[in-house]
Amino acid sequence: MSRTIIHVDMDAFYASVEQRDNPSLMEKPVIVGGAGGERGVVTTASYEARKYGIHSAMPLKKAHHLCPKGIFLPVDMEKYQAVSEQIRSILISYTPRVEPVSLDEAYLDVTASAKLYGDAEKIGREIKQRIKNELNLTASVGIAPNKFLAKIASDHGKPDGYVVVSPGEEVAFLKGLPVQRLPGVGKVTARRMSDLGLGTIGQLAAKSREELRRLFGKYGERLHELSHGVDNDEVIAEAVAKSISHETTFEVDVDDGESLRKTLALLSDRVSVRLRQEQLVAKTIGVKVRLADFTTMHRERTLLEPVDTDDQIFSVAWALFQTVPLKGKKVRLLGVVASGLSQPPAQLGLFSEGGERNRRAMSAIDNIRRKFGHTAIGRASHSQAKKENKRHTTDE
C-alpha cells in the first residue's frame, strides 16, 4: 500500500508571529535574532527582509548593512513554543502519526486517515485553512508519496504554498529542479556535479546507478534513488529531542567571571524550564564557550541520575565552565545544553531530600513564568546580569 505524507512548514515563522502580534510590523522588514545590536546571527527574516538578501544564519552585522532600516527583534522562544503547540494540536487532530522536525515544521503520515477525514489533498487544505483562521498565520503544505518529496513540494510553493506530487509524477516533478534541492548536496558536491554537466535532478536521473556509484561512491546509490523520487524513511511520531540548549552571544566580549557565572545561571534556568515543559529529564549537561578569536570549546558531564531543575543544571554547567582554558581571552558566546533526554521516572532520586516541596516550588515558578514571562521570577543574580549584558539568545 502506497503511503501519503504531508509536510507542513510555517512561513518565516518567528517573524510572522511578531508581525501578527504587532500589526504595525506588517509588510515591514522584520529580522528576528537581535535587538539593535550587531552580534550573533539572524534566526528568521520576514519575506520583506529577504528582498534585501537577508537569510537565516547570516551575521547580524551584515544584515544591518544590507537593511539598515530593518526592524531587529530578539528571539522570544517561549512565545514561539506556545504557538508551535497550537499548530501541533491542529495536526494531531488528523493523525497521531506526526513527526515534529522543529517548532515550525512537521511531517504527517495520513495514509490511514482518509476514511475519517477525506483524502490527503482535503486534509492538507483544511490544515492550511485552520492555521490561517485559528492562528492568523500562513503555512506551506507539500503532499507526496514520501517525506523527501513532501518537503521539496512544500519548499517549492513558499510562501503560503500548496503543492501535490501524485504517485507516478515523482520523476517529472523533480526533473527541472537544481541538484542543490537534494539532501546532502552541498556547495562542494554541487560544484563537482556542475563540472560533470549535472545541474538538474533530471540530468542525475538519466545516469545509471552504476555510473553514479562510480562518480560519487556509496552516496551515488542514494542519489540514484532520490533523483527518481524514491525515499523509504518512515514518519516517526513524537520523536524525542536529542538535546535542549540555550546560548547567548554577548554584545561586547566578556572576561568578568561574575558576569559569566550569572549568564550561565540564566541559561541553565531556561534549559530547565524547557525540560519541564516537555516533561523530560537530562542525564548529560554540557557547556559551549566561544572566545573572542572564535575558538570554540565544549565540555560535558554525564550524571548518575537525570535532572531537570535550575540549581542542578547550573552547578554542573559552572563546574564545567571552570575547566575551560580561557588563557586570558574574553568570551564571545556561552551556551548550556542538556542531552541524554528521557521521560522522568515515577519518583526522581534527586528529590529524595525535601523533594516534594522542591517539586512544588519549581511548578509554582513555572506557572508564574508562563503567566508573566520568563524574567518575572528567578535567581536574584539574574536581574543584575540582564543589566550588565545585552545578548542574543538562540535555541535548538
DSSP tag of 333: E
With cell 545561571, the residue in question is 265
Q: Characterize 326-351 residue by residue with b for buried, 16 or more Cβ atoms within 10 angstroms of its Cβ, and e for exposed.
A: beeeebbbbbbbbbbbeeeeeebebe
Q: Which residues contact 102 (CB under 8 A, 6 or more apart)?
A: none
Q: What is the C-alpha end-to-end distance of the chain, expressed in Å?
A: 36
Cα separation, 96 vs 108, whole angstroms: 8
Map residue 389 onto helix, strand or coil.
coil
Reported in sequence order, the residue ranges of the chain that DSSP labels E, i.e. its strands, are: 5-10, 30-32, 44-45, 71-73, 98-102, 105-109, 139-144, 162-164, 243-254, 281-291, 296-307, 331-342, 391-395
**Nearest-angstrom CA–CA distance, 40 and 57:** 9
Place of cell 556509496: 218
- Distance separating alpha carbons of residues 267 and 261, to the nearest angstrom: 10
Centroid of chain to Cα 196: 35
Catalytic residue among 18, 48, 99, 105: 105
Spatial CA neighbour of 162 closest among 212, 210, 191, 126: 126
CB-neighbour burial class of residue 270 (10 A; exposed 0-12, middle 13-18, buried 19+): buried
Residue of 36, 34, 39 lying closest to 250 (CA atoms): 39
DSSP state of 256: -
What does the alpha-carbon distance between residue 337 and residue 8 come to, in Å, rounded to a whole number? 28
- Residue 121 a catalytic site member: no
Quote the radius of gyration of the chain (alpha carbons, Å).
23
Amino acid making up residue 353 = E
Catalytic residues: 105
